[in-house]
């Protein structure tokens, strides 16, 4: 076999690894929530490439407000759950901002249960309106689903909690649901 044939054969044998490296490099130009969305779609990458993409990103802050508005508003609970699962949000995410995610009911936050690292959670789902004014979107986020998930990150469910800032939707604050009121009372006594 000639040197050229050997080089071509070696290149072909290494093609999956070379493609994976190129793929990871290309994805590195995306914002973290875009990387996470990209990685959860099985058709675009195998588990090894997914792991490479996800391991190359710091997940301390996950801000869905960085997504295009139509992408964020169409994010589903299943997709959110997959993202939070794959990035091990329970142990990695300190700040989660759900801006623009108006289609989330709440069960997609499940992988955050019993998080000891989450510090800030933005649930008010705002978007920029005319002249840069923040507008709260109509949303389907359900207190009955979300509050128990958040409660699992407070004592006595865990020994100590790092959760200290939660931005609740305005209509939750206005309606004073008993579930939220009990959660706030419990949180203020810690």
Q: How far apart are CA 45 and CA 143, in angstroms?
A: 35
Cβ atoms within 10 Å of 2's Cβ, excluding its own: 7
**Which tens digits make up the pLDDT trace of 114-149?**
998 999 999 987 655 565 555 555 568 899 999 999
Task: State CA 150 to chain mean position distance.
Answer: 15
**Alpha-carbon span 90 to 70, nearest angstrom:** 27
The pLDDT tens digits of the residues spanning 23-65 come to 778 888 889 999 898 888 766 667 777 887 888 789 999 999 9
């Amino acid at each position: 076999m000639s040197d050229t044939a050997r080089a071509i054969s070696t290149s072909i044998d290494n093609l999956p690894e070379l493609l994976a490296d190129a793929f990871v490099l290309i994805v590195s130009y995306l914002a973290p929530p875009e990387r996470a969305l990209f990685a959860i779609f099985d058709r675009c990458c195998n588990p090894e490439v997914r792991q490479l993409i996800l391991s190359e990103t710091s997940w301390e802050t996950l801000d869905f407000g960085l997504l295009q508005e139509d992408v964020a508003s169409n994010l589903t609970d299943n997709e959110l759950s997959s993202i939070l699962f794959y990035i091990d949000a329970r142990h990695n995410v300190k700040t989660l901002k759900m801006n623009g995610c108006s289609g989330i009911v709440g069960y997609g936050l499940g992988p955050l249960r019993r998080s000891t690292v989450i510090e800030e959670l933005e649930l008010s789902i705002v978007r920029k309106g005319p002249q840069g004014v923040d507008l709260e979107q109509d949303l389907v986020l359900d207190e009955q689903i979300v509050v128990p998930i958040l409660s699992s990150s407070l004592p006595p469910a865990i020994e100590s909690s790092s959760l200290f800032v939660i931005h609740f939707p305005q209509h939750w604050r206005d309606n004073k649901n008993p579930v939220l009121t009990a959660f706030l009372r419990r949180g203020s006594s810690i």
